A and B are shown apart, each in its own frame.
Chain A
Amino acid sequence: MFLAQRRLCSLDSRAKFLKTIYSSKILGLPASAMSLKITNAKRIEGLDSNVWVEFTKLAADPSVVNLGQGLPDISPPVYVKEKLSKIAAIDSLNQYTRGFGHPSLVKALACLYEKFYQNQINPNKEILVTIGAYGSLFNAIQGLIDKGDEVIIIMPFYDCYEPMVRMAGATPVFIPLRSKPVDGKRWSSSDWTLDPQELASKFNSKTKAIILNTPHNPIGKVYTKEELQVIADLCIKNDTLCISDEVYEWLVYTGNKHLKIATFPGMWERTITIGSAGKTFSVTGWKLGWSIGPNHLIKHLQTVQQNSVYTCATPLQEALAQAFWIDIKRMDDPECYFNSLPKELEVKRDRMVHLLESLGLKPIVPDGGYFIIADVSLLDADLSDMKDSNEPYDYKFVKWMTKNKKLSAIPVSAFCNEETKLQFEKFVRFCFIKKDSTLDAAEEIIKAWIRQKS
């Protein structure tokens, strides 16, 4: 400090001025007392904890069979990997591209999604490419939700919805999916529904938006036409926006059809529909997603984009565009990834259902998505080691199962808000977009578990 002071003293007009500054340090105030101002912004107060950070660390042990985080351990399709490889060699694709989305990608997305909407989609005005669907959720919420607004969230919910709504200064209003009694027959995700009257009661003059997730994480529910109509009617009646998270849109199983709420009458103009390359092509690490909607909504997401990340990575967007063109051209072909992946996953789903049933559990068979949840309290696991913890049952169970059975999953109460964690605390979520050898290893663990029980 003193060397610096001497050097500075040799500069003319600054010397006298700087002496005054240094003398205040001589007062000997400790550094900590001077840091009362360096605090976080209020918008992130209480948002620092995160279930994934805790549980992925737990499952990182290579001897653990990881059915927790929703990440495929299968390879993406060969042509997707090949495209990226070729593109990375093209010079210009290593520099910035258009902020709201690489031109060839937004064209491909417009071409694909026009097949589902009644109108053409303007690639520049009605599409925004984001950092994963996660980024689209953030842009939509920051762009359209204000302090004091209310946002309806259906429980259980993908865990980021609540903190994102709170970060925007708004209030989440929760409504749970409730199950019909299912004596005798297999429990299905379609048995979980919203009570229309209860839903209607959640809307008021402050309600800015409702967040819809179909197919649903973690239950796997694929909303029917009638269910979507109830939501649409309420949105229109209450002048509310709909943020529709449809990342698992291609992953629907036999007997089910994914429907886009934005295609319902009166809904295009008030809906943002979100998609994900990660979930579409099994490339979660590419972190590319998109929002589709009318320009009067998308333009506000674009404003957030130009003030946050500005643009997404170029080579990945070009590779994604080219992968899309391959599959857009063969949408009726069973070889098209949009058709082949759900077929592949349905087999894995059925295998998981069977495995969990063999353990004595009653899993909820998902109609879509790549997760399955089951009530694990029937296993009556000995969690006495953790009796002092005031964590919900499922948190304790997952930690116990990871440690003792070398099998990891995610507690479903992580997808609930504080007040309602108890409603889902007996449920645990398993991910089945895993290669056969992973599922074989899970099967071995479950077989040993069954033997140990009997």
Chain B
Amino acid sequence: MFRNVAAIYLHLAGLLQRKKAGTSLTRCLHQTFAMAKRLQARRLDGIDHNPWVEFSRMASEYDVVNLGQGFPDFPPPDFAVQAFQLALSSDYMLNQYTKAFGYPPLTEILASFFGKLLGQEIDPLKNVLVTVGAYGALFTAFQALVDEGDEVIIIEPFFDCYEPMTLMAGGRPVFVTLKLSPTQDGELDSASNWQLDPTELASKFTSRTKALVLNTPNNPLGKVFSEAELELVASLCQQHDVICISDEVYQWLVYDGHQHISIASLPGMWERTLTIGSAGKSFSATGWKVGWALGPDRLLKHLRTVHQNTIYHCPTQGQAAVAQSFQHEQARFGQASSYFVQLPEAVQRSRDHMVRSLQSVGLRPVIPQGSYFLIADISDFKSKMPDLPGDAEEPYDSRFVKWMIRNKGLAAIPASIFYSMPHRKHFDHYVRFCFVKDESTLQAMDEKLQRWKTELRP
């Protein structure tokens, strides 16, 4: 490490800069800590990389319209904000621990609300677990049910945490890709044309398959799985005695009259499905980090064991606010005044706006039926400017996003991060945009695109 004396002095000088006056040198000299034993646990192997950090940092360094990050830049609805205020100003004991597995008014309303939707008798104590976001529910599920050597089927493209969570639990991810059926020339592609091949899917199930992760509506594609597609997945899960982990955080964000269907409501599926939801996505309050897992007691009891040995409790006030917000929605369910009706209506308009605008510069969006996102095909750019700066093995879409941030003032996320390593090179011609943004943001996007258009080579 130290090639010469000068380097040593420079290194120490650097360390000394952090020191306060009059303290010993001992700490400096121990900065390079070398433990004879291996330091970090093996379960962290291969999962330390975080693709988001780089793109978030770049988006904050440049003057960009940020369409990468997957959260709203508008506030939660008034009733939700008021619910939080109420939680803070009422009983001061809400500042203290609540029940470990969920604040009772929240588990009760979740049980009644989703019981109706799933056509299932849901017990708030046995069939509901409140978690730190849907992310926390996913983690709890993997830790509870996936063992060393278990296989977990993951449908690509996938929300990127499924793979490292499987690995951290000692499991082996088995990928199956949604494949695009070709469209007519000139027509925009639709997420519904991305489909699973039934034979290929069936071939992925082995005697070691423990779980399949389903995400509908899908991030990043925006696909809403149809009943037929869910029945296909369901029948295979039943045939092979596999657990279905169903990530349904975008369940209210469905467009064009599409219907979100929970696989747990299909015959034979409740007993083997964990249905995961998010208050953050439901109430446009991602910073509250309240999520839940619903399922049969025989699965939930194992999630409870993990929960009590990982975080034990979730924060109380956020749960109280979510309970109150669900009360509000339950009273208006299916009506025009329901947020779960108004939000997708408003977001659909944003989606349509973005779809129109992106095309003006030669990006070809894939129309999503649901979720916060769409992916846009950048093949034209790949053929016109194939050599963009980047690292040796860096996929094209990642280089494109960085170029777009630096030169066009727009931030997005490369779609290849939602693919397993070996498949990234086949899907490096897509970029993910988030359209759950305020009108002013979309207008700022339009300005950037208009400038981009003028800069296009003829």
* Interface, chain A (partner B; CB < 8 A): 1, 4, 7-8, 11, 13-14, 17-18, 21-22, 24-25, 31, 34-38, 40-44, 47-48, 50, 52-53, 56, 69, 71-73, 75-76, 81, 84-85, 88-89, 91, 93-97, 118-120, 131-132, 134-135, 138, 142-147, 160, 163-164, 167-168, 208, 239, 241, 265-266, 268-270, 278, 282-288, 294, 296-297, 299-300, 303-304, 306-316
Contact = CB atoms under 8 A, between A and B. Distances in A.
Nearest to B140: A308
Nearest to A269: B33
A24 B268 CA distance: 14
A40 B305 contact: yes
Given A41-B147, A287-B314, 9 more contacts: A25-B238, A38-B272, A94-B285, A95-B72, A120-B18, A135-B311, A160-B312, A286-B95, A313-B318
Contact of B81 (A44, A88, A294): A88
Interface size class of B (residues with CB under 8 A): 35 or more
B43 interface: yes
B287 A282 contact: no
Interface stretch (B2-10, B86-94, B376-384, B446-454): B86-94
Interface in B35-50: 35-44, 47-48, 50
Contact of B27 (A35, A85, A119): A119
Contact of B75 (A47, A94, A134, A306): A94
B309 A44 contact: yes
A269 B30 contact: yes
B271 A131 contact: no
B41 A309 contact: no
Contact of A285 (B33, B311, B317): B317
B335 interface: no
Given A38-B299, A144-B40, A313-B289, A21 B236 contact: yes
Given A24-B239, A134-B311, A313-B289, A283 B95 contact: yes
B219 interface: no
A41 B146 contact: yes
B107 interface: no
B232 A18 contact: yes
B59 to A, nearest CB: 13
Nearest to A118: B23
A44 B306 contact: yes
B81 A307 contact: no
A307 B47 contact: yes
B33 A270 contact: yes
B394 interface: no
Contacts of B267: 1, 4
B428 to A, nearest CB: 24
B62 interface: no
Interface in B353-386: none
7 contacts: A38-B243, A41-B146, A52-B100, A119-B27, A120-B18, A284-B95, A309-B311
Given A18-B235, A285-B315, A160 B47 contact: no
Contacts of B71: 95-96
B202 interface: yes
A286 B315 contact: yes
Nearest to A41: B147
A81 B231 contact: no
A14 B161 CA distance: 31
Nearest to A52: B100
B310 A93 contact: no
A134 B312 CA distance: 7
Interface string B297-330: 0110110111011111111111000000000000
Q: Which of A41, A96, A312 has most chain B Cβ within 10 Å?
A: A41
Interface stretch (B116-124, B131-139, B406-414): B131-139
Contacts of A37: 210, 241-242
Nearest to A45: B305
Interface in B65-123: 69, 71-76, 81, 84-85, 88-89, 92-100
B81 A308 contact: no
Contacts of A303: 40, 44, 47-48
B5 to A, nearest CB: 24
B26 A73 contact: no
Contacts of A144: 39-41
Given A40-B144, A94-B287, A307-B47, A17 B309 contact: no
B228 interface: yes
Contacts of B100: 52-53
B225 to A, nearest CB: 14
Contacts of A24: 239
Contact of A41 (B73, B96, B169): B169
B253 interface: no
A207 to B, nearest CB: 9
B426 interface: no
Given A38-B241, A48-B305, A120-B18, A269 B31 contact: yes
A401 B199 CA distance: 64
Interface in B224-267: 228, 231-232, 235-236, 238-239, 241-243, 266-267
A31 B71 CA distance: 41
Nearest to B19: A119
B169 to A, nearest CB: 7
Contacts of A285: 94-98, 313, 315-317
A76 B135 contact: no
B308 A132 contact: no
B228 A8 contact: yes
Contact of B88 (A44, A88, A278): A88
A313 B291 CA distance: 12
A284 B95 CA distance: 6
Contact of A138 (B27, B97, B145, B310): B310
A119 B18 CA distance: 6
B308 A53 contact: yes
A312 B132 contact: yes
B191 interface: no
B420 interface: no
A48 B307 CA distance: 10
B20 interface: yes
B198 interface: yes
Given A88-B84, A146-B38, A17 B199 contact: yes
A87 to B, nearest CB: 9
Contacts of A84: 88, 317
Q: Which of A25, A44, A56 has most chain B Cβ within 10 Å?
A: A44
Nearest to A80: B95
B402 to A, nearest CB: 21
A309 B133 contact: yes
B239 A21 contact: yes
Contacts of B440: none
B25 to A, nearest CB: 11
Contacts of A138: 309-311
A266 B35 CA distance: 13
Given A285-B315, A307-B168, A313-B315, A41 B143 contact: yes
A268 B119 CA distance: 56
B184 interface: no
B198 A14 contact: yes
B307 to A, nearest CB: 10
Contacts of B232: 14, 18
Nearest to A168: B41
B173 interface: no
